[in-house]
Homo-oligomer: A and B are copies of this chain.
Amino acid sequence: MTPATDFAAWSRAVQVDMETALAALLPPATVAPERLHAAMRYAVLGGGKRVRPMLVFAAGEAVEAPPTRLTAAACAVELIHVYSLTHDDLPCMDDDDLRRGKPTCHREYDEATALLVGDALQSLAFEALSQPGLHPNAGTQLEMVHLLACAAGSRGMAGGQAVDLASTGRSLDLAELEFMHIHKTGALILAAVLLGALCGEHLDTSLRERLEHYAKAIGLAFQVMDDVLDAEGHTATLGKTAGKDAAQGKATYLTLMSPREARAYAGELIDTALAAVAPLGERGRRLAEIARFVVERSF
């Protein structure tokens, strides 16, 4: 991953590195309980855009953090993300059959196993992030653990899920919709960026604030585009069931604005994100590229 590689090559390299790192971190399917370990590997490996790991690496490059630390932090964030997808797909939640182009975990295995897969992936995320000596400053590493725990919990991602549940079938205004997304997806995206930056030696307040502005803007833009793609997309391209949100009566940006307006809104958010990291110059290159990718992606 030299700085000169283009974004497509860089993002593929992150995906390849993550596959290797996650495969090594997950217990082998030959270790008891075998079925649970096989199901954990099924849920995590062999798919996913790995957007959150990309954010960890991109923020890490902005502070010249060592790759081994970034890999561990990226694995922790991705494990939290996959645990949340696995639980979201369960019958009592979204009841989805398809994820990342494959049957969902509870379809391939069973509900109880998928429940335990999510539970164990959350534990594994904290196990990975608290491994001895990951960061030379143990206090910084503790701060990273604390940040991820807060982002995942009831005042972060899990709380956003609860708001999403409560909002199904009723209309939300823009403020309510964004409250939901800031928690449901925004909290973990922010955590990814800050964890990457904390992998460096020292994170000053000014850079931290820039990164927070950046992360909050792309977090919302990502969700706006998700709604656009869900409404316009095809199941095969998305790797998950298209049009599901609308069919389930869930509030989306497209219940509040036209697709054209939604794309324009995502564009404005990305401009905000780009402005926040512009002063970083070449060190912020990957962060800027990810921001552009969020609005230009088609899956």
Contacts and interface: CB of A to CB of B under 8 A. Distances in A.
B127 A150 contact: yes
A165 B113 contact: yes
Nearest to A125: B149
Interface residues on A, range: 35 or more
B142 A132 contact: yes
Interface in A77-92: 83-84, 87, 90, 92
Contact of A142 (B36, B90, B141): B141
Given A159-B120, A163-B32, A166-B33, A127 B153 contact: yes
Interface in A93-137: 93, 110-113, 115-116, 118-120, 122-124, 126-127, 130-132, 137
Contacts of A124: 149, 153-154
A162 interface: yes
Contacts of A162: 33, 35-36, 113, 116
Q: How many copies does the complex hold?
A: 2
A244 to B, nearest CB: 16
A242 B119 CA distance: 26
A22 interface: no
A90 B154 CA distance: 19
Interface string A236-256: 000000000000000000000
Interface of A: 27, 31-33, 35-37, 40, 83-84, 87, 90, 92-93, 110-113, 115-116, 118-120, 122-124, 126-127, 130-132, 137-139, 141-143, 145-146, 148-150, 152-156, 158-159, 161-163, 165-166, 179
